[in-house]
Amino acid sequence: MTRLRRKALVALFLFTLFIFGAMMGLRTLKPSDGFSDLAPGMDFIGERTDRRRPDVKDVVASPGQFHMGSSDTKVVFTKSDRDYSIFYDVHIFYYLWYGSPSMDNKYIHWDHVLVPHWDPKIAASHAQGKHVPPDDIASSFYPELGPYSSRDPKVLESHMSQIEAAAAGVLVLSWYPPGVADDHGEPTEDLVPAVMDAAHRHSIKVAFHIQPYKGRTDQSMHDNIKYIIDKYGKHGAFYRFRSSTGRVLPLFYVYDSYLTPPESWAELLTTKGSHSIRGTPYDGVFVALIVEERHKHDIQASGFDGIYTYFASNGFSFGSSHQNWKAIKSFCDANNLLFIPSVGPGYVDTAVRPWNNHNTRNRVNGRYYETSLQAALSVRPEIVTITSFNQWHEGTQIEKAVPKKTVTRLYLDYQPNQPDHYLELTRQWAENFNKEKDKWLM
């Protein structure tokens, strides 16, 4: 009898272990419903060109369902061993806020504070303070380049080479106006010309991801758009998108667009607005962030041209949940809006928000990324965005990472795969995306 009881207990233990493992797997790969406590962002609240490198003055624009003009979506390079392409309908979010003592006299962002939870009882149970680079950085992964400076020309060149290797044709630059920065960083607008030049050398285009700086309004946005177009509009790397009317317009992503009410956006983005940019030299394609379901109606009323989802944590928000993309795409199709889903390789921000492990999404050696990419392709978008190239705080980067162990830290890495694993996966899916688009058009 004792032996039978022991066997029964062992069987029960193994069964419980199996159920736990299965649930963890589903948590990684399946979407969940509803909106989480906190946005995981750092702010709280069709044909080939000739086989040559394109002329730097060539305009590269993506055709769209909302934008039906025909134009190049890719460029094909010839190397000694093979041909390879980069695709201008694959956009990747890029951050310029990192600093190191060799270039900036101090570490910037790598030493990010551990953000306390808003509930003092929960905050008390987690670590506080700041990270101390170079061995202790504000990321769960460790970059192959080390805790670098975004001002380093060698870093910029490496980044553009990696983005080119990933076949992403448009770098979406996180942007603040001159003299303005995020809460933990320094102004970076003076670095934009170097980014544009470096991107241009690799035939990569640059679009702007306008951040929710303090005091951002529809009027200040008018000034921002004018500044960007006046300063960078003639640069060979400046990205433009071909509209349904045949106009080739700059494309802007507007992060946390919901912070400004629709009636204010309408003053800027509708033809009858008091300071409308429509039909002026500063017109563009403006893409708003959807977090909650109700935002889609606000986005339409605001006069935006499209919707993107940004967050790489599937199930975190309505917009970032793969299961909702079909419905969002249908809404966009019915209202002449562009739907741009955002996909990422995983999510882990506990190096800066130690209490937020419930929003972690494990990479599963790339399977999470592939699940996200497949979900995006299933709704037949015109553009896919990648979150991100180098948002190291939130663990969404596809930039090369390496194993790292110190006395106090054991970093995550891409093993058993190589440091360029997610660059390679991105290229494979970019190529597949464009093959699928050819079929859709047929």
Q: How far is CA 299 from the centre of its chain?
A: 20
Domain presence at residue 3: no
Name the least confident of 68-72, 306-310, 377-381.
68-72
Predicted local distance difference test score (pLDDT) of residue 72: 55
Asked whether residue 59 is assigned to any structural domain, the reply reads no
pLDDT digits (tens, 9 = 90+) for 120-136: 888 888 989 999 999 99
408 inside domain: yes
pLDDT digits (tens, 9 = 90+) for 242-253: 876 788 999 999
Residue 65, in any domain of the structure: no
Q: Is 58 domain-assigned?
A: no
For 156, phi and psi rounded to 5 degrees? -60, -45
Tokens of 131: 């990270």
Contact between 168 and 205 under an 8 Å Cβ cutoff? The reply is no
Residue 380 counted as domain residue: yes
pLDDT band at 259 (very low <50, low <70, confident <90, very high): very high
Number of domains present in the structure of the chain = 1
Tokens of residue 68, six digits: 């039906």
CATH of the domain at 335: 3.20.20.80
Mean local confidence (pLDDT), 107-126: 92
Determine the Cα–Cα distance for residues 163 and 78; give it in Å rounded to an integer: 17
pTM here is 0.85
Q: Is residue 208 part of a domain?
A: yes
Which of the two residues, 58 and 121, has the higher pLDDT score?
A: 121
- Residue 74 falls within a domain, yes or no? no
Q: Is the pLDDT of residue 79 over 50?
A: yes
pLDDT at residue 427 is higher than 90: yes
Boundaries of domain holding 150: 88-441
pLDDT one-digit tens code per residue, 278-300: 999 999 999 999 999 999 999 99
Contacts with 307 (C-beta within 8 Å, 6 or more apart), sequence order: 287, 288, 289, 290, 296, 299, 319, 328, 332, 337, 338, 339, 340
Beta strands in 68-176 (DSSP E): 74-78, 83-94, 168-175
